[in-house]
Structure 1
Amino acid sequence: MNFFTVSAFIIYFSISAGESCAKITENLHYSCMGRNLSYIPPSIPSSVQNLDFSFNVLKHLQKTVFPVLSYLQVLDLSRCQIKHIENDTFYNVKNLTTLILTGNPITYFGPGCLNTLSNLRRLVLVDVGLSSLQLQMNNLTKLQELRVGTNNIQSVSLPSIMSTFKDFSLLDLHANNISMIKTDQTAVFREIGRNMTLILSRNPLFYIEPGAFKDIYLRELDIRSAFVSSAAQKAGLQALYGLNVKRLMLGKYRCDYKISSSDAGYLDGLCYINFYEVFYYMKERHNVPINIFHCMVNATIVTVKGGIIRETANVPFHEIKELYLISNQLDTVPGKQVSHLHTLEKLVFTDNVATQIPDFIDMPRLQYLDLSSNQITLTSCCTFFTGTPQLRYLNLSLNPQIGLTMEPFDGLDSLEILDFHRTRVVGMGYRSLFSNLKYLKHLDISYSSITFVNIYCFYGLSNLKILKTAGNHFQGDVASYLFSNLTLLEHLDMSYCRVVELHPSSFKNLQRLRLLNLRGNNLMTIDFLALQNLKKLTSLYVNENSITSIPLHVLQKLPTNLSEFDLSSNPIDCSCSQTDFILWIIQNQNILKQPEYIFCKTLSPSSDFRATDFDIDSCVHKKRLTIVLSVCFVTVVVLLSLLVYRFQFYLQYCCILLSGYRTPGQQECSYDAFVIFSSYDEVWVMNELMENLENGVPPIQLCLHMRDFQAGKSIASNIIDEGIMGSRKIIVVVSQHFIDSAWCRFEFELAQSRFMLERNANIIIIILEDVEERKTKKVFGLHKYLKKNTYLKWSRDPLSNMRFWIRLRKAIIATKK
């Protein structure tokens, strides 16, 4: 049973039992969500501070529902089918700071049901069927947020007691049924501090009494989609005269339909509202020219989003700091319109249809310029920003094409962030263009169709910390030198660059590198990881490459700070030859990102067998068996080799015999007798044996190794071919020297083999000198032969000598044809 099965069983059992709740933080945070409970489980400790009890069944709330939870601060009772809340319900949890009752069909609030919650700061009554804000909240003096959206409330009138709530900061009335706002309904707003946010969005407003918000101070007013028509919106904005608000949010939500407007002055009411920030979410299509910014000249932050505007007029903003023009279908970047705005610090012009960039003139405070997601196509960039000496952020991403010529960033020495991602950048890969950007910290040129050819492309970026080059191409081995001067680099993205190999020198100077992204390349090895300079690396992504294995010496030298290593989607070789690598994967899942997606692709390209499930033990057994078999095989081979070497002559003789042995009667012999003797006995052989036998009558032809063996032929072959096989008889001259000679012993053993095959006494033993019986045993078969066969003994006595030669000659010529 795996982990997930066990977990599912535990969860199922807990839900069935209706008792156990999930422990998020020991003794502090518990979740009983969706357990179908009708009471607070006794397993919840009294020290709990946060309890999620949503999606259970508590139809009636009364004092006995909650045990004493003195430390409970956050209680979520969302969608618990609550209908009645009795007085003193929350007595045992009176230290609550947040109470959430969202989605309960509450039909009855006890007059004193909230009286004990004197520490309550956040009360959420969204979608509970409220029809009025007149709740009994006398003791909620610390209340900061009241969220009552999606109800049936028809008036913004708050209980008078709330005028004493000095910390009150948020009233959310979105999606109610408020159609009219009168002066007497806003009296409490005048008494509350100036830090309150009022959300009236998605209400069907058609009338606001003029002056209803006069002398009211709000931090934020949200009236998006809060009017039944554009006419009601125009009248409503005019009725808001005298309102003081820091941030005003108006217009339509994204999902609302666009409406057409032919009233050029429908925003004139804004001129009578005092605001600093305005967010206008346009959905109108204007049939007549309109100056949207006419009444926004005093704002510090202006956002216009989602409208259909073809052009913008020059607006003499007085204190503007930030201007956002987003998704408005503007076909011109408002360079002329915003030039000379000495206070402007941030300009965001995105998702429009502009194709060119005008000159930005005399904008000394502009620091942030975002021109992304337009249709800008330039052959030469970026001289039109020379009037922005303090520019620190420049974003030209997601445009069709930007061309860079020599010194394109002249005058932009303060740049810290430069973004060209997914914009085709022409001219960057062939030369150094950043020599003056010594303060640049972030450069994103991902997917910009760049081919890096020049190794000095990033020359001058001495303070660069983040470099993203994903989706581009490196020609040849340029990557080995391209980053050498980026000594402060901390984040390098080279994903999807079709890189096949990376030399260790590519990162030798990147001693501060913390993140290296090589995802989606064609790397087969990552030996560069063994480089000691990458000791600060914490995140490495090499997923979606062609890596089958990583050598153990590389794994042992991985940076010690590495905490996130993504090897997924590589064709890992799960074989017994890679047990060290597989074992490392199994033991280091804590640093591997998505180890469950490291599959053994060598088994099959479509295999979903996880590397972490590979059976290493089976490999250990196989490896042991292989080692044992290998050792045995090598041992046998070595022993056989030694035996063959030791007995090569015998084997050769056997081969000759097996190839077709013929007896002297079946073959013609060149010699009458082959003499086996020690070289130390050569004088006797030459002076006595050869002289008496070869010069006698009839002459006997002897085979003597020093005379008759063929030159250039191996000794063993001569012994077998010329001596033993080429002679009818074999004469063995036994002496002490014979006993000590390895060659003599060898020749005698071969002679015996012939004797065994013929079954004839073809071996004639001559005892040249007395030899101790024990020494004759040193020669295989000699002692036994002497015991069973007649032999001749040499003597210097003349009479004995005569008989010796007669007997020897007779023994040799006995079978001579």
Structure 2
Amino acid sequence: MTAICTDRGMFLYVVLILVQNGNGEGCTQIRKNGHYSCGGRNLTYIPTSIPSSVEMLDFSFNFLPTLQRTVFPQLYNLKLLDLTRCHIHHITDDAFHNVKNVTTLILTGNPISYTGLDGLNSLHKLHRLVLVDTGLSSLNVQFSNLTELRELNVGTNNVQSVALPPFMINFRDFSSLDLHANNISILRVNDTNVLRQMKGNITLILSRNPILFIEPGAFQNLHLRELNIRSAFISLDAQRDGLKALVGLNVGKLIIGSYRAHHAKTTETNDLDGLCLINYEEFYFYQNQWLDLSSHVFRCMVNATKITLKRGRIRVIEPVSFRQLKELYIGKNGLEEIPQLSNIQSLEKFVVVDNDQVLFRGLRDMPSLRHVDLSRNLMSLRSCCFEYFRDTPNIRHINLSLNANIMLLAKPFSGLDLLEVLDFHHTEIGVVGQFGLLQNLKYLKYLDLSYTSNTFGSTSSFYGLTSLKVLKIAGNAFQKETLGYLFENLIALEVLDMSNCDIDRLVWRDFRDLQRLQHLLLSQNRLMVLDFLAQTNLPSLTRLALDQNGITSIPQNTLQNLPKNLSIFDISFNPINCLCTQRDFIQWIIEHQKMFPKPHNVLCKTLQTDSKMRAIDFDVESCIHAQILTVVLSMCAVLLFVFASVLAYRFQFYLRYSCVLLRGYRASRQQECSYDAFVIYSSKDESWVMDELVENLENGIPPIHLCLHVRDFEAGKAITSNIIDEGIMGSRKIIVVISKHFIESSWCRFEFEVAQSWLVTQGNANIIIIILEDVEEEKTKKVFGLHKHLKKNTYLKWSGKPISNMRFWIRLRKAVMMRN
């Protein structure tokens, strides 16, 4: 009783916490009026914001301990309801009345301890019911009214019998029973009576159950669409006996393999003899661990239409007279030799992959064969290819990729005229580029010769491939002048991959016949210029990959002539220069960054640093100001030179300013500084400067020597010269006191602009900003460069509070004393 009270108290405590700490965030609309997601929002009720027209509701990972009629508002259009892991313990009668039109109900991961007699029965239109990991111990669930049910998933529970309740005989559309990962160890004849009386064509999943014994006759006269007993038997012996006990079963797809207990390797010839007692069309045998199989493994599969074997070690396979086999897949089986399955008139698809140095003697007399995949076998073939595919005139697909090496005959595809897909990638062949070996493949649509050690020296390498849509020749080489004619007459080509081919130059003539080309991949080459794009001869191009080349800039006329349909333009990881002379190109990158698959990988290098920055972060505005300043200064210089005698007085201020800057630029950067800091401030803020700034810096320890225009400028000397000589050139740092008076003062703005100009010429960043009083952001833009400086640099702010001021002086003194 104490334990029960403790649990009940904990339950009430959790409820109280959930209610007090908020009912969660609002739901997310995935699709207009159609799909709402409320998953993981800590909700304890269905939000009223969800419209009544909702069709799909994900309410997983919330808190609904008891389902009753009042929980759900009237959602009569709701078709899918996901209540995964909502801590549901009780489902009362008529709980789903307001959502009675639901066709899919997911209750995964709920510890359901009580369900009313009519708890689920109001869901008359339910097609799919998922009760995975709900603590079920049997299939006697009260849902007799769910006659429209098609799929029942009760995996990962503690169900011990496959027996269905008798009322399910009336479920005419029922098609799938998933009992994976339960505790079914014995299957008896009575357990399958209901299944036997149903209409048939049902999928039965018993994988990952500890099956020890199947009573003979349990599956007699049972018709199933699929039976999955993979990883279901506790041992290889149990699997062998269990297969024999399936006598009389009729099934479309049978999936077995990977018994549960570890077992030594076996070479028994009767391990799969039980298959001879079963009628099946498709057979799938999957192993998680290596298992030696008999050479007679196919003996009981002569009537199969499709066979798949994965990871069962078969050294040699004895010939079998298959009657109606259409597809054969053998993967990771340690074959020493690809089985000689010649004369199988019905075989359409043949796949043998992932073996090691397997021997292939060829296929013969297989008129229905269309698809052959022998990739990843490390094969070495000589005299390829028609010698290996004699009397197989209907082959459409050959994949010989990822093998060791293949030698081609003079006419390697004679008799294989209907080929549509040919794949040799990462297999050394080395001669395709020298001769017109493919000219009879007029129906070929896909050709992959990537990384095949080819050097394309013949302009007729692809002659005759008028239907080719995809050509991949990455990782190969080209002789000079070959590219100009290599793609002639490939009028149907849509995808061309020439990545990593050491290409340093392309011209528009190379692609003149490729009017339908949509994807052009030129990654990892040595291209520096894009002359071939200057003329619009690729009207259909939508994707152009130029990443990892040597591109530093793209001229404006090339950018203007890019194909109009181009939507993906990859120029990432190129040595682009971030210079003001390339302002137009950088601006184009910023404006068209949606075209780049990963804009943050479009990097560029500046003169000031060896590190790279993102091109989209380059400050184009600074180039505009610099350009404007350059133009103004140039115009002034020309005007001063032409009209010096007339305009000398009028422009003497700007002339003096330019001369002083020029003299300052030529001065030695290592000259001795007389002051620690030059202070730029408004005369209306002089009291604060003298009483606070001078008092705390010059009278502190160690003293900091400030340059103030009221006391330190040389009398009789031009103000501009004093600013440069005494203030900027004579001081290590520059302190700028920002206030409303500073913004309104033309001399303050001038001093700040001169200071910036000087620091730009010297390449230093020694300006220390003090915000004496807040200034509106728009007003800071009146001072050239100030707004941008405040955005990009840390500044000090005066508050007038004693504690804050103490930190202020410490930071200011540290900033002034810091060496460059």
TM-score, normalised on structure 2?
Answer: 0.73
1:478 Cα deviation from its structure 2 partner? 2.2
1:704-719 alignment, distance < 5 Å:
none
1:586 Cα deviation from its structure 2 partner? 2.3
Partner deviation per Cα, 1:756-814 (whole Å, 9 max, x = no partner): xxxxxxxxxxxxxxxxxxxxxxxxxxxxxxxxxxxxxxxxxxxxxxxxxxxxxxxxxxx
Structure-2 residue corresponding to 1:173:
179
Partner deviation per Cα, 1:237-266 (whole Å, 9 max, x = no partner): 11111111011111118x985642353212
Residue type of the alignment partner of 2:362: D
1:127 Cα deviation from its structure 2 partner? 1.0
Contact 1:406–1:433 (8 Å) recurs in 2: yes
Structure-1 residue corresponding to 2:420:
416
Residue type of the alignment partner of 1:308: R
Partner deviation per Cα, 1:147-169 (whole Å, 9 max, x = no partner): 11111110111122221212111
Residues 626 and 191 of structure 1: CA distance in aligned 2, closer, same or farther (over 3 Å) = farther
Partner deviation per Cα, 1:351-370 (whole Å, 9 max, x = no partner): 11244321321111111111
The whole-number CA distance in structure 1 between the counterparts of 2:308 and 2:427 is 25
Counterpart among 342, 345, 356 of residue 342 in structure 1: 345
Structure-2 residue corresponding to 1:545:
549
Residues 292 and 530 of structure 1: CA distance in aligned 2, closer, same or farther (over 3 Å) = same
Counterpart among 435, 439, 445 of residue 435 in structure 1: 439
Structure-2 residue corresponding to 1:483:
487
| 1:230 partnered with 2:241 | no
For residue 632 of structure 1, give the secondary structure of its aligned residue in structure 2: helix
Residues 288 and 249 of structure 1: CA distance in aligned 2, closer, same or farther (over 3 Å) = closer
For residue 251 of structure 2, give the secondary structure of its aligned residue in structure 1: strand
The whole-number CA distance in structure 2 between the counterparts of 1:251 and 1:237 is 11
Structure-1 residue corresponding to 2:325:
320
Answer with 170-179 or 475-484: which moved more: 475-484
1:356-755 alignment, distance < 5 Å:
356-382=359-385, 383-602=387-606, 607=611, 609-637=613-641
Contact 2:292–2:312 (8 Å) recurs in 1: no
1:634 Cα deviation from its structure 2 partner? 3.7
Contact 1:571–1:602 (8 Å) recurs in 2: no
The whole-number CA distance in structure 2 between the counterparts of 1:385 and 1:503 is 40
The whole-number CA distance in structure 2 between the counterparts of 1:287 and 1:616 is 68
The whole-number CA distance in structure 1 between the counterparts of 2:361 and 2:337 is 8
Structure-2 residue corresponding to 1:678:
none
Structure-1 residue corresponding to 2:11:
none
The whole-number CA distance in structure 2 between the counterparts of 1:377 and 1:256 is 38
Residues 312 and 104 of structure 1: CA distance in aligned 2, closer, same or farther (over 3 Å) = same
Residue type of the alignment partner of 1:380: S
The whole-number CA distance in structure 2 between the counterparts of 1:605 and 1:83 is 65
Contact 1:257–1:283 (8 Å) recurs in 2: no
Structure-2 residue corresponding to 1:186:
192
For residue 89 of structure 1, give the secondary structure of its aligned residue in structure 2: coil
1:86 Cα deviation from its structure 2 partner? 1.7
1:473 Cα deviation from its structure 2 partner? 1.9
The whole-number CA distance in structure 2 between the counterparts of 1:257 and 1:375 is 30
For residue 481 of structure 1, give the secondary structure of its aligned residue in structure 2: helix
1:34 Cα deviation from its structure 2 partner? 1.4
CA RMSD of superposed structures (Å):
2.3
Partner deviation per Cα, 1:542-595 (whole Å, 9 max, x = no partner): 222222222222222222222222222223322222222222222223332122
Contact 2:420–2:445 (8 Å) recurs in 1: yes
Residues 628 and 56 of structure 1: CA distance in aligned 2, closer, same or farther (over 3 Å) = same
Partner deviation per Cα, 1:315-340 (whole Å, 9 max, x = no partner): 000011111111110111113xx101
What is the percent sequence identity of the aligned residues?
Answer: 54
The whole-number CA distance in structure 1 between the counterparts of 2:155 and 2:147 is 21
The whole-number CA distance in structure 2 between the counterparts of 1:95 and 1:260 is 53
**What is the number of residues matched between the two proteins?**
626
The whole-number CA distance in structure 1 between the counterparts of 2:420 and 2:295 is 37
Contact 2:394–2:416 (8 Å) recurs in 1: yes
1:389 Cα deviation from its structure 2 partner? 0.9
Partner deviation per Cα, 1:202-233 (whole Å, 9 max, x = no partner): 10011111111111111111111111111111
Residue type of the alignment partner of 2:630: T
Contact 2:425–2:451 (8 Å) recurs in 1: yes
Answer with 291-300 or 428-437: which moved more: 428-437
For residue 238 of structure 2, give the secondary structure of its aligned residue in structure 1: helix
| 1:332 partnered with 2:337 | yes
Structure-1 residue corresponding to 2:27:
21
Structure-1 residue corresponding to 2:309:
304
For residue 600 of structure 1, give the secondary structure of its aligned residue in structure 2: strand
Residues 536 and 197 of structure 1: CA distance in aligned 2, closer, same or farther (over 3 Å) = same
Counterpart among 97, 100, 105 of residue 111 in structure 2: 105
The whole-number CA distance in structure 1 between the counterparts of 2:644 and 2:363 is 91
Contact 2:295–2:315 (8 Å) recurs in 1: no
The whole-number CA distance in structure 2 between the counterparts of 1:604 and 1:517 is 33
Structure-2 residue corresponding to 1:724:
none
For residue 403 of structure 2, give the secondary structure of its aligned residue in structure 1: coil
The whole-number CA distance in structure 2 between the counterparts of 1:579 and 1:375 is 52
Partner deviation per Cα, 1:277-316 (whole Å, 9 max, x = no partner): 1011246766784411111000011111101110000000
Who wins on radius of gyration, i.e. which is larger? Answer: 1
For residue 253 of structure 2, give the secondary structure of its aligned residue in structure 1: strand
Q: Which runs of 5+ in 1 are unaligned?
A: 1-14, 644-817
Structure-2 residue corresponding to 1:11:
none
1:477 Cα deviation from its structure 2 partner? 3.7
The whole-number CA distance in structure 1 between the counterparts of 2:600 and 2:497 is 24
| 1:160 partnered with 2:166 | yes
Structure-2 residue corresponding to 1:39:
45
Contact 1:74–1:97 (8 Å) recurs in 2: yes
Q: Which runs of 5+ in 2 are unaligned?
A: 1-20, 648-820
Structure-1 residue corresponding to 2:97:
91
Contact 2:295–2:314 (8 Å) recurs in 1: no
Partner deviation per Cα, 1:490-545 (whole Å, 9 max, x = no partner): 01111122222211111111000011111222222223223322111112212222
Answer with 72-81 or 361-370: which moved more: 72-81
